[in-house]
Amino acid sequence: MIYKIHAINSEIGPALISHFKTEHLANSWIASRIALKKCLSEYLGLQLELDIKLPDDFELLSLANYSKLINFPAVNISISHTKNIGAACCNGSARHIGVGIDIELAQRKISSGIERKAINPADNSSANLLEIWSMKEAAFKALDPIKEQFGIGDRQLVLQDISILDKKFALYTDGQISDAIGELNYQQIETAGQTLIVATAQITRRD
């Protein structure tokens, strides 16, 4: 798995903004898709132009669902964004079936209400609350598209169904915790003058 970060450090211009409802949406989409282009270029050995050209890039980077691209169906992808910073990750080997990424500004505060909805008694990590939240978001993105393979079926997956076990994650159902089903990583980086938490998750095929 590889991931890339991209920050929008200057105004993107009215021509690009005109394709979106708001400038915020424009910044989020463009930052995350430039990061995605960087991932695809490195992972697939392509020479994709990193400059965003619309509407062409709407078609090139069109999502089949939030883990697959129509034009690159063999690659698992995940994207995330916060304010003017975007992130993307990808993998596509036969063994790796799920991937997820989440980014958060390190100064973000998690409310007690959100904490109650996300944390469960089996969570076991030395990470702080925001880092656990970010890891759960990444794990959710990796797991949700393939949840039927883990016996979840049509039931809606929520963050409290996922337990963080240091550098791995498991399912937490009816007070019981499963064996670990995926791997996690998180770190803090500096980008665009801000401290960013980057969490990634990956699920490997169970033979």
DSSP structure class, residue 204:
E
Domain that holds residue 89: 2-204
Any idea which residue has 């964004």 for tokens?
81
Total domain count for the chain?
A: 1
d(CA 19, CA 65): 21
- Tens of pLDDT, residues 119-177: 999 999 999 999 999 999 999 999 999 999 998 888 899 999 999 998 999 999 999 99
C-alpha distance from residue 140 to each of 16, 62, 102, 181 (Å): 31, 21, 10, 12
What pLDDT does 182 receive? 96
What pLDDT does 113 receive? 87
Region for 74 from its dihedrals, namely left if φ exceeds 0, alpha if ψ lies in -120 to 50, beta otherwise = alpha
d(CA 42, CA 49): 12
Q: How far is CA 131 from the centre of its chain?
A: 14
- Tens of pLDDT, residues 96-110: 899 999 999 999 998
Candidates 15, 16, 140, 25; CA nearest to 86 is 25
Report the chain's mean pLDDT, rounded to a whole number: 93
Non-local (6+) Cβ contacts of 189 within 8 A are 5, 195, 196, 198
Is residue 180 predicted with pLDDT exceeding 80? yes
Q: How confident is the model at residue 48 (pLDDT cuts 50, 70, 90)?
A: very high
What pLDDT does 154 receive? 86
What pLDDT does 11 receive? 84
